[in-house]
Each structure stands twice: as C-alpha cells, then as structure tokens.
Amino acid sequence: MPLGTWMEKEIAEQPEVLSTNAPRYLSELKQVLQGKSFDLILLAARGSSDHAALYARYLIEIHLGIPVTLAAPSVITQYKSKIKFPKCLAIGISQSGAAPDVSEVIAYLRSEGHDTLAVTNTANSRLGEAAHHTLLLEAGIEQSIAATKTYSASLLAVAQIVQALGADLGPTQLPTQEWLATTRELATENSGHIVRCNPIFSLGRGYSYCSAVETALKLMECALIPAKSYSIADFHHGPKALAAHGTACILYGDVPEDLRATGATVIEAPKANMGIWDPLWNIQFGQWIALLAARARGINPDIAQNLTKVTETL
C-alpha cells in the first residue's frame, strides 16, 4: 500500500462527511442554543481542534459581536485558579473527546453555572460527560494520526454554532470532489519546493489564519518538515528577516508585494473565493501537500513519529 493510504482516504471523504452532517449540526445546535445570549464565549481545545477554535473566534466576534477568549487550560488544571467569568458559553473541541485539560476547563465552567458544549467525534467521551450538551461530529473512524475529516468537520461545527446563536452566514458552501482534485494537483506541483526548502513558513490572516496554522502542523507531524505559522501581519514584525533563497512561504490569501523580493519561494494556496467558508475549502491544499511531501521523503504519515492518535495533557 502507498504510504499514507489512510490519510489519503480520509482526505477524500471530506465532501461527503460535510454535506451529510451540515443540516444535522445546525438543527441540533439550534435546539440547545437558539434564543440564548452570552457576554463571553470561551473556547477550549488543543492541536488541530485549537485551530478550529481560531476560526470560531473570527466568526463569533465578527458576526455576533461577542468577545471570545481561548482558554489556557493550565490556569485551571495546574494553577487551580478560580476565574470569575461573566455569563459565558464554554465550548470544548476535541476530536477524541479524551483531552483531560479541555474536559477540566469545561467541567469547571459548568460547575460555575455557565452553559457548556462539547464538540467531539467520539460518543460517551470524557469531554461529553463534562458538558451539558454534546455535538457529535459523526465523521466516521479516523485511522490516520493526522486529523483531516475531523478537522474540517470541526470547522463546520463551529460555523453552525455561530448560526445557531443567530448569525446569518449565508448559504453553507462546502468543498466538492472536483475541488479536492484541483487542490491535489496544485499540491503535487509544489510539494518539491516543500521538500527542498527549510524552513517553511505558513501564512494567513483573518478567516484563513487557521488554515496556515493547521498546514504548518500537518507538515511537521506528517512529513517531519520544520514549519512555522504566522499571521501575515505578525510575519512582517520580525520573522520575515528569515525569508530568503532556500526558504518557502505558503500563502493563504494575497501575497504581500515585497515577499517575492526576499528570494523565498512563494506557494499560493488555491483561492476558493467562498468568503467565510474558505477555511473548509483551502485546508485540503495543506493536507495534500503534507501527505505528498511525506511520501516524497519516504515517511508514512499514518503512523507519525513520536505521536499517538489520542494525546492527553493536563
């Protein structure tokens, strides 16, 4: 079997997973959230789930006008701080639902009288038990170490949370099999640059910042390639000094005018032009390029070095 067979299969399943679950996510979330108001929304997550939370932050603050905080779980789990939050919706995101620190944050918020919601792909999980309500992603079993379909399902879930809370995000725009073919072709054309260059910078801003962060993670865990993500704005505040011949920059969004002048190889992720739904589309490019770079290096991304599918931290 080709290296990364599971990862390839699970990338390809995304259009069906998303289109099948989109109506259910919205329906179930409306049952528990519609008509409620909050002064703050807290998001607790780790790894790829944390990147889905970045997308949620932009959606919530832009379309609902509610401030968002991304939890630092150790404040509660390690330092035992008793934080007094205003009226809050606490959302825990974990594909496995097994993250102890995320679960503890949600359990603490629940004990303080706040509404809590778990977003997970695993029924009867620790996170689900900690929260008042659970949205099951139902993306199917994900065998590869890399989160692919569970990541995009988490993106869809947080978008539907925002709609259930009253935002009008317009028609749901979901990636197609034709789009998957397009992103794979472009990733094939650029994977050689990824293998040859060092370091790799993954850059984005706004809604697509989450795609930049997730792509860097995928390159590190799947292909063992050093990669660092930045907001395009933050990249200009120092890291750009490293951009030169032999480095590469993956861009989600418009390319800054002066970036090519640095000599760095600029790789433009394909633009889906789906507005707020772009992260559900453009991450497939990042997933493909990580898979193809891993294969080029003789690495099997399905069994990543030093990693397990479920990571538990406190």
DSSP the chain: --TTHHHHHHHHTHHHHHHHHHHHHHHHHHHHHTT---SEEEEEE-HHHHHHHHHHHHHHHHHT---EEE--THHHHTT------SSEEEEEE-SSS--HHHHHHHHHHHHTT-EEEEEESSTT-HHHHHSSEEEE-------SSS-SHHHHHHHHHHHHHHHHTT----S-----HHHHHHHHHHHHHHHHHHHH-SSEEEEE-GGGHHHHHHHHHHHHHHH---EEEEEHHHHTTTGGGG--TT-EEEEESPPPTTTGGGTPEEEEPPP---GGGHHHHHHHHHHHHHHHHHHHTT--GGG-TT--SS----
pLDDT attached to residue 13: 98
Q: How far apart are CA 162 and CA 60, in angstroms?
A: 6
Task: Domain 5-164: give its CATH code.
Answer: 3.40.50.10490
pLDDT attached to residue 1: 77
CATH 3.40.50.720 fits 177-299, yes or no: no
Q: In the chain, which residues have pLDDT < 50?
A: 309
Global pTM value: 0.96
pLDDT attached to residue 311: 53
Per-domain boundaries in the chain = 5-164, 177-299
Do 5-164 and 177-299 show the same overall fold?
yes
